[in-house]
Structures are given as structure tokens and as C-alpha cells.
Structure 1
């Protein structure tokens, strides 16, 4: 089945994002989260689920295009796919750092590294398949918003002191 690699690549980020999201779901309605001072430009909460579904689909399919056109992990796709894996791990790490650890600071550190990783991945994808690079642009745009939201929360909310 020729479509199977495209389907798997498209669903992989969804799967990881869903697992992380379900594990952190109890934190979404926690007292800590409800008390956060948010940026005035914060989108309503219902936007995040559909947005991440679309972004994960786009980045996943982009990774398939690079894998297909760059001869898998043996050819010129090897470095772009390694960068993709790195940014995906940073993406999945953000929710537990921010919500699970109640740490806007660690969320900001993670998302800042994620920004660099996604820009790098996008540039590397573009060299293998231009459409793959273009599919990453909405992700870059959303990350700019997400980074600004995280920064605002970091600057306007004191870090919680952990009791030992």
C-alpha cells in the first residue's frame, strides 16, 4: 500500500501530541492554570485543539514528502528528518514542562529551542522538497504566537515555589 508511509507520517505527530495532551488534560483546568495572567491577544481555549491537529497533520505530511524525495534515512533526507525528530521531541516536551511542572520559565526555554529547531527543520525540508518547506510555514506562524503567549505568562506570573 503506497499510501501507508504518508498516513503513518501524518498520524505520528498527532499520536504523540494526543498522548501528551491526554496526560496533561487534568492540568488544563487546574487552579494553577486558572490563575494565570494571560496575554490580551490569547485565543480562546477551543482554538488550540483544532489548530494543533492541523499543524501536526501539515508537519507530518511534510516529513513524509522529505522522506520520500530524500531517499529515507539513507539519503539527503537523513539530516532534515533528524531535525524534524528533534523539533517534535521539543514540541511534545512543552506541555509537561509548562502545565505538568507549572513552569512558564521551562516552557519558555523549551519553546525558544523549539523555534530554532522548527526554523532549521523548515530550511532543511525546503532543500529536499519545496512543498514540505511551505507546509511548515503555518507551524512557524503559530509558534510565534505561542512563544509570545508563553513569554507574557512568564513575565506576568511568579514561578511557583516547590516544597521539598
Structure 2
């Protein structure tokens, strides 16, 4: 039985909305810590303005979500060839969502750096696995990988510029 246009549209919408759900929850955590903690850190000269992060992440999440739909559709769903790429997708998404509570919630710049390095590696593997199923889906990870490279450099620079902030956070935990 052929799928209807409405059914496909709902599946696409769900795939695009899913990755944004974590950002909605994490957005509150970020806003609560911007003035209290983040703005008091030393920042590298290449830090973009805070307002830029939400639209960039929203578009990247939409792209990766649509890519996941394409892989699910063309790879036979969760029981077909798409299984491993979709597991990689879920893994990188979990690491993506975990970064904000680590960095902003725990005030752990180093923990955020460790997470984003693992995220970048996992997202790269996911993009390659997506590409094998659907070239467009794989290519949708190119801007994501570029942004993750930039975000990793930003996180690293923050860690190097704020060693005493990281130390104080560690001491408070112990």
C-alpha cells in the first residue's frame, strides 16, 4: 500500500522536530546560566554573538532530522540497512544534547570539550553512514560538521582561557 503525502509529511515533520526537542529543553538551561556564569568567562576573539547560536542550531537540527528521515525511508527503516546509521544518529544526538548540561549546567568547560570531541567523531561517522544510504542525507551533515569543528575550537579556546574557572568548579564538586 502506497503512503500518502500527508503520512510522509508527518514523518518528515517528526524527524525534523525530534532533534530540536533537546534544544528547547537545553535552551532554558543556557539562558539561566548566560548572565550568571558564561558572560563572566574569558572569551576568544572569534566568539560569535549569543543570538547566533539558536538559529544556527535550529537549522542544523532540521537538516540532520530531514537526513534521518531520508535514511530511514531509503534504508528500510529500523530493521533494514538504516539500522546502524540510525543508531549512530541517536548516539550523536544524545552527545549533542548532553553538551549543554555538562558545559552550562555543571559549568564544566573541560567536560564540554570531551563531550564535543566525542560528538564530532560520532557525527562524522553518522554522516558517512548516512551518505552510504542516501547521498543527500550524508551531505546534510557537511554544514553540521563544519559548525562542530568551529564549536570544538571555541570550546577548546574557552578551556584554555579559563583554567581557574574550571578549577574552581572542580573544587566545589569535591
Q: Which one has the bigger helix percentage? A: 2
Q: Give 1 or 2 for the bigger CA radius of gyration.
A: 2
TM norm. shorter chain > 0.5: yes
SS at match of 2:42: coil
Per the alignment, residue 161 of structure 2 pairs with: 156
**What TM-score comes out, normalization by structure 2 length?**
0.91
Which consecutive segments of 4 or more residues in structure 1 shift more than 4 A?
none
Determine if contact 2:16/2:64 at 8 Å carries over to the other structure.
yes
Q: What is the root-mean-square deviation of aligned Cα atoms in Å? A: 1.0
The 1-side partners of 2:135 and 2:8 are apart by 21
Are 2:67 and 1:62 aligned?
yes
**What TM-score comes out, normalization by structure 1 length?**
0.96
Per the alignment, residue 22 of structure 1 pairs with: 28
Q: Which stretches in structure 1 are left out of the alignment for 5+ residues?
A: none
Shift of residue 90, structure 1, vs aligned partner:
0.2
Shift of residue 21, structure 1, vs aligned partner:
1.6
The 2-side partners of 1:44 and 1:25 are apart by 14
Q: Which stretches in structure 2 are left out of the alignment for 5+ residues?
A: 1-6
Q: How many equivalent residue pairs? A: 163
Identify which of 49, 74, 77 aligns with 1:44: 49
- For residues 65-76 of structure 1, what are the structure 2 equivalents within 5 Å? 65-76=70-81
Alpha carbons of structure 1 residues 76 and 35: separation in structure 2 relative to 1, 3 Å? same
The 2-side partners of 1:71 and 1:20 are apart by 32
Per the alignment, residue 4 of structure 2 pairs with: none
